[in-house]
Amino acid sequence: MKAARLFGPGDVRMVEEPAPLPGPGECLVRVTAVGICGSDLHWFGEGRIGGSVLSRPLVLGHEIAGVAESGPLEGRAVAVDPAVPCGRCERCREGYYNLCPHGRFAGHGATDGGLRQYMAWPATELEPVPDHFSPATVALLEPLGVALHALDLGWKRFAASVAVVGCGPIGLMLVELARAAGASRVVAVEPLEHRRAAALRAGADEVVGPEEAGRLPEVDLSIEVAGNDVAVAAAVSLVRPGGRLVLVGIPDDDRTVLPAAEARRKGLTIKLTRRMNEAYPRAIDVARRNVIDLEWLVSATFELARTREALAAAARRDGLKVVVVPEG
């Protein structure tokens, strides 16, 4: 089979290798689509993310759609949950599977992800999806789960006002979700013009650049999805005293600078996200009922052989969601 492996920052090579053999409890999955995520871009651009450093050629990709080729779901279209928790540690026993310190994650560390034609993955981490879902829609279920988890952390009351700072694909999903959840007002902050237009399409009442965020009325909940200090400062400035701030973005240098005096003066409740927690079934249901639209977020599709181009295109941020289709 063909696989796209990252050998170093910016160094993605197509390799031929045997298809993986499923181990106990695993299924062989034929990969049909993989979304490119901001965390993939950290690996691609820096060869690391947070404290994890590239130690061997790695297959990236954790937003994965596929078809089970063996096991109890054989023949079914599936969404691949990229997180495999240990199920035994204290965090898992408490229900915080996304915080498991012993789990593995597709396309991260030493665990290969989905940018290949086949992968072997635990059957328990495969979610069957409706047959009418396109592979691109299935690939977007993982970032939708992240958006749902972020909203869960911050949502407190019906008809709350919400700000979304950073309008990449997850930010745009949050705009749609906040509107669907009953937000009285949704505002968005985004420096790129084409993404400001996308935020309006997603349902934002008003969209401004970061330099204009200070003129917007304060909101109950502010969600930062950009991963830089300008966005964090804008998110803090937008939330009302006693309100909530959720940080989703991953900073390039593994440091987040917070306007501490303002955040303290406002008495903010601040929460940070890590991936998602058991949100896949809800994400599938949200997509099945057309609560929000996903397909329009896909702005470019690449074949597996053009994975490096796909990653570079996503890094330029001149579109929205980039998807790689291993089957061509």
pLDDT band with cut points at 50, 70 and 90 for residue 133: very high
Q: Please give the model's pTM, rounded to 2 decimal places.
A: 0.95
Question: Cα(145)–Cα(151) distance, rounded to whole angstroms?
Answer: 10
Phi-psi region of 48 (alpha: psi -120 to 50; beta: other; left: phi over 0): beta
Task: Tell me what percent of the residues of the chain surpass a pLDDT of 70.
Answer: 100
What's the mean pLDDT in 206-226? Answer: 95
Within the chain, all domains assigned CATH 3.40.50.720 are found at 144-272
Within the chain, all domains assigned CATH 3.90.180.10 are found at 2-140+294-325
Strands 26-35, 63-68: pairing is antiparallel
Provide the pLDDT for residue 277: 83
Q: Which residues pair with 188 in a beta bridge?
A: 164, 207
What's the mean pLDDT in 248-252? Answer: 90
Domain 144-272: give its CATH code.
Answer: 3.40.50.720
Residue 128 has pLDDT above 80, yes or no: yes
Q: Which residues pair with 210 in a beta bridge?
A: none
User: Following DSSP, what letter does each residue of 269-328 receive, concatenated?
Assistant: EEEE--S-SS-HHHHHHHHHTTSS--GGGEEEEEEGGGHHHHHHHHHHTSSSEEEEETT-
Lowest mean pLDDT, pick from 58-67, 92-101, 143-152 = 92-101
Provide the pLDDT for residue 23: 95
Strands 52-53, 48-49: pairing is antiparallel
* H or E element in which residue 49 lies: strand 48-49
Tokens of 237: 């400035």
Provide the pLDDT for residue 49: 87
161-187 pLDDT, tens digit per residue, is: 999 999 999 999 999 999 999 999 999
Lowest mean pLDDT, pick from 189-193, 194-198, 213-217, 287-291 = 213-217
Residues sharing a CB contact under 8 Å with residue 256, sequence separation 6 or more, in sequence order? 229, 232, 247
Question: Cα(206)–Cα(190) distance, rounded to whole angstroms?
Answer: 11
Residue 295 has pLDDT above 90, yes or no: yes
Task: State residue 258 phi and psi, 5-degree precision.
Answer: -110, 135
Provide the pLDDT for residue 214: 87
Question: Cα(295)–Cα(134) distance, rounded to whole angstroms?
Answer: 9
Tell the residue number behind the tokens 């994975």, with chain if given: 307
Provide the pLDDT for residue 35: 98
Question: Cα(29)–Cα(79) distance, rounded to whole angstroms?
Answer: 10
Question: Cα(4)–Cα(7) distance, rounded to whole angstroms?
Answer: 10
Question: Cα(321)–Cα(169) distance, rounded to whole angstroms?
Answer: 6
Query: What does pLDDT average to over the chain?
Result: 95
100-124 pLDDT, tens digit per residue, is: 999 999 999 999 999 999 999 999 9
Q: How many CB atoms lie within 10 A of CB 119?
A: 27
Q: Cβ(40)–Cβ(314) under 8 Å?
A: yes
Residue 51 has pLDDT above 90, yes or no: no
Task: State residue 316 phi and psi, 5-degree precision.
Answer: -70, -20
Provide the pLDDT for residue 328: 58
63-104 pLDDT, tens digit per residue, is: 999 999 999 999 999 999 999 999 899 998 998 888 899 999
Residue 304 has pLDDT above 70, yes or no: yes
Provide the pLDDT for residue 327: 79
Q: How far apart are the first and last CA of the chain?
A: 13
Cα-based distances in Å from 92 to 51, 88, 96, 111: 22, 6, 5, 20
Q: Which CATH superfamily includes the segment(s) 2-140+294-325? A: Medium-chain alcohol dehydrogenases, catalytic domain (3.90.180.10)
